[in-house]
Amino acid sequence: MAPVSTEPDRWCVVTGGRGFAARHLVEMLVRYEMFRVRIADLAPSIHLDSHEESGVLAEAIRSGRVQYISADLRDKSQVIKAFHGAEVVFHMAAPDSSINNHQLQYSVNVQGTQNVIDACVDSGVKRLIYTSSPSVVFDGVHGIFNATESMPYPSKHNDSYSATKAEGETLIMKANGSNGLLTCCIRPSSIFGPGDRLLVPSLVAAARAGKSKFIIGDGNNLYDFTYVENVAHAHVCAERALASGGDVSTKAAGQAYFITNMEPIKFWEFMSQLLEGLGYERPSIKVPAFVMMPIAHLVELTYKLMGPYGMTVPQLTPSRVRLLSCSRTFDSTKAKDRLGYAPVVPLQEGIRRTIDSFSHLTAGSRSKREGPSKASRILGGGKVADTLLWKDKKQTLIAIFILITIYYNFVATGSTIITALSKALLASSIFLFIHGILPEKIFGYTVEKIPATQFHLSKDSSHHLLVSVISSWNTTVKALKSLCQGNDWSLFFKVVFVLLVLSFAGAISLKSIFVIGLPLAFIAFTVYENKEQEIDSILLDLKSFVCKQKSDVCGKLFGREKHD
Q: Residue 165: its pLDDT value, please?
A: 97
CB 73 within 8 A of CB 116: yes
d(CA 554, CA 288): 8
d(CA 343, CA 338): 15
d(CA 418, CA 415): 8
Calculate the CA dihedral of residues 360, 361, 364, 370 and round it to 10 degrees. Answer: 90
Q: Residue 527: its pLDDT value, please?
A: 72
Domains of the chain in start order, with CATH, are 11-365 (3.40.50.720), 374-425+459-530 (no CATH)
Q: Residue 428: its pLDDT value, please?
A: 78
User: Going by DSSP bridges, is the β-strand pair 265-266/222-223 parallel, antiparallel, or unpaired?
Assistant: antiparallel
Catalytic residue among 81, 165, 266, 286: 165
Q: Where are the beta strands (DSSP E) in 42-109?
A: 66-70, 86-91
d(CA 209, CA 537): 9
String of DSSP letters for 259-317:
E--S--EEHHHHHHHHHHHTT-PPP-EEE-HHHHHHHHHHHHHHHHHHGGGTPPPPS--
Q: Residue 300: its pLDDT value, please?
A: 76
- Which is nearest to 250 in space by CA: 177, 335, 333, 148? 177
Q: Residue 551: its pLDDT value, please?
A: 60
Q: Residue 6: its pLDDT value, please?
A: 46
Crossing angle, helix 228-243 and helix 20-32, to 10 degrees? 60
User: Going by DSSP bridges, is the β-strand pair 256-259/182-188 parallel, antiparallel, or unpaired?
Assistant: parallel
- Which is nearest to 215 in space by CA: 281, 283, 289? 283
Q: What is the pTM of this model?
A: 0.66
Question: Is position 165 annotated as part of the catalytic site?
Answer: yes
Per-residue tens of pLDDT for the chain, all 564 residues: 445 544 557 999 999 999 999 999 999 999 999 899 999 999 999 999 888 988 999 999 999 999 999 999 999 999 999 999 999 999 999 998 877 788 999 999 999 999 999 999 999 999 999 999 999 999 888 899 999 999 999 999 988 999 999 999 999 999 999 999 999 999 999 999 999 988 999 899 888 877 788 898 889 999 999 999 999 999 999 999 999 999 999 999 999 999 999 999 999 999 999 999 999 999 988 888 888 888 888 877 777 776 665 566 666 778 788 888 899 999 999 999 999 999 999 999 999 999 999 998 998 765 444 456 666 666 656 666 677 676 766 777 777 777 777 777 766 766 666 777 777 788 778 877 887 777 777 766 666 666 665 566 666 556 656 766 776 677 777 777 777 777 666 667 777 777 777 777 666 666 666 667 667 766 776 776 666 666 666 666 666 666 666 566 555 555 554 455
Residue ranges of alpha helices (H) inside 449-509 are 459-485, 489-506
